[in-house]
A and B are shown apart, each in its own frame.
Chain A
Amino acid sequence: MAKHHVTATVNGDPVEFLCETQDTLLDVLRDQLGLTGTKEGCATGDCGACSVTVDARLVCSCLMLAVEAEGKAVATIEGMAEGETLHPLQRKFLDHAALQCGICTPGFLIAARALLEKHPEPTETEVRYWLAGNLCRCTGYDKIVRAVLDAAAEMRGA
Chain B
Amino acid sequence: MQQKVKTNGAAAFDWVGTRPVRPDGVDKVTGRARFGADLAMQGQLIGKVLRSPHPHARIRSIDTSAAAALPGVKAIVTRDDFKDQPSQLIPAGEQMINYRDVVRNVMAREKALYEGHAVAAVAATSAGIAKQALKLIEVDYEVLPHVIDVVEAMRPGAPLLHEGMITAGVEPAPKTPSNVAKRVEVGHGDVAVGLRHADVVVERTFTTQPVHQGYIEPHACVASVSEDGQADVWCTTQGHWMVRAQCARLLGWETSRIRVTASEIGGGFGAKTVVYLEPLALALAKKARRPVKMVMTREEVFRASGPTSGAHVRVKVGARLDGRIVAAEAELKYQAGAFPGSPVQPGCMCAFAPYDIENVKVVGYDVVTNRPKVAAYRAPGAPISEFAVECVVDDIAARLGMSPIELRLKNAAKQGTKAAYGPKLGPVGFIETLEAARAHDHWRAPLGKNQGRGVASGFWFNVGGETSVSLQLNEDGTLSLTVGTPDIGGLRASMCMMAAEELGVDIESIRVQIGDTGQLGFNFLTGGSRATFSSGMATVEAAREVIREACKRAAKLWELPEDAVEYRKGAVRPAGANAGKHAPLTLRDIAGLAGKTGGPIAGYARINAQGAAPSFGTHIADVEVDPETGKVTVVRYTAIQDAGRAIHPSYVEGQYQGGVAQGIGWALNEEYIYGPDGRLQNPGFLDYRVPVASDLPMIDTVIVEVPNPRHPYGVRGVGETPIIPPLAAVANAVADATGVRFADLPMSPPRVLAALDDARARGKAKI
Q: Do A and B come from one complex?
A: yes
Which residues of A are in contact with B by a Cβ distance under 8 Å? 20, 30-31, 35-44, 46-47, 49, 76-78, 80-81, 86, 90, 93-97, 99-106, 109, 124-125, 127-129, 131-146
Q: Are A135 and B692 in contact (CB under 8 A)?
A: yes
Contacts of A44 in B (CB 8 A): 298, 684-686
Q: Are B29 and A90 in contact (CB under 8 A)?
A: yes
Q: Are A137 and B690 in contact (CB under 8 A)?
A: yes
Known interface pairs A41-B218, A135-B692; A100-B658 also in contact (CB < 8 Å): yes
Q: Are A143 and B657 in contact (CB under 8 A)?
A: yes
Which residues of B are in contact with A by a Cβ distance under 8 Å? 19, 21-22, 24-26, 28-35, 37-38, 40, 128, 213-218, 264-269, 295, 297-298, 488-490, 648, 650-651, 653-655, 657-662, 684-686, 690-694, 696, 698-699
B689 shortest CB reach to chain A, Å: 10
Selected from B35, B659, B684, the residue in CB contact (under 8 A) with A103 is: B35
CA distance A13 to B35 in the complex (A): 25
Additional 13 contacts, C-beta under 8 A, given A39-B37, A94-B26 = A39-B216, A42-B684, A44-B685, A46-B686, A97-B654, A100-B654, A103-B264, A103-B267, A138-B658, A140-B659, A140-B691, A142-B657, A143-B654
Selected from A46, A97, A109, the residue in CB contact (under 8 A) with B19 is: A97
A26 shortest CB reach to chain B, Å: 11
Known interface pairs A44-B686, A80-B30; A95-B21 also in contact (CB < 8 Å): yes
Contacts of B696 in A (CB 8 A): 128, 140-142
B724 shortest CB reach to chain A, Å: 15
Q: Are A142 and B698 in contact (CB under 8 A)?
A: yes
Q: Main secondary structure on chain B at its contact with chain A?
A: loop
Q: Which residue of B is nearest A107, CB measured?
A: B216
A17 shortest CB reach to chain B, Å: 16
Contacts of A90 in B (CB 8 A): 29-30
Q: Are A99 and B29 in contact (CB under 8 A)?
A: yes
CA distance A144 to B217 in the complex (A): 18
CA distance A80 to B31 in the complex (A): 9
Q: Report 30 cross-chain contacts, Cβ distance below 8 Å, ordered by A residue.
A: A41-B266, A41-B298, A42-B684, A43-B297, A77-B30, A80-B31, A81-B30, A86-B29, A96-B650, A97-B490, A97-B653, A99-B29, A100-B490, A100-B658, A101-B216, A104-B216, A134-B693, A136-B693, A137-B216, A137-B658, A137-B661, A137-B690, A138-B488, A139-B654, A139-B657, A139-B658, A140-B696, A141-B696, A143-B657, A146-B698
Q: Are B38 and A94 in contact (CB under 8 A)?
A: no
Q: Are B267 and A137 in contact (CB under 8 A)?
A: yes
CA distance A105 to B31 in the complex (A): 8
> Which of A44, A103, A143 is most buried by chain B, counting CB atoms within 10 A of its CB?
A103
Contacts of A132 in B (CB 8 A): 692-694
B581 shortest CB reach to chain A, Å: 45
Q: Are A94 and B29 in contact (CB under 8 A)?
A: yes
CA distance A134 to B692 in the complex (A): 7
CA distance A133 to B215 in the complex (A): 15
Q: Are B30 and A101 in contact (CB under 8 A)?
A: no
Q: Are B661 and A86 in contact (CB under 8 A)?
A: no
Q: Are A47 and B650 in contact (CB under 8 A)?
A: no
CA distance A35 to B31 in the complex (A): 8
Q: Are B657 and A140 in contact (CB under 8 A)?
A: yes
Q: Are A140 and B28 in contact (CB under 8 A)?
A: no
CA distance A157 to B546 in the complex (A): 47
Known interface pairs A31-B40, A97-B490, A143-B654; A136-B216 also in contact (CB < 8 Å): yes
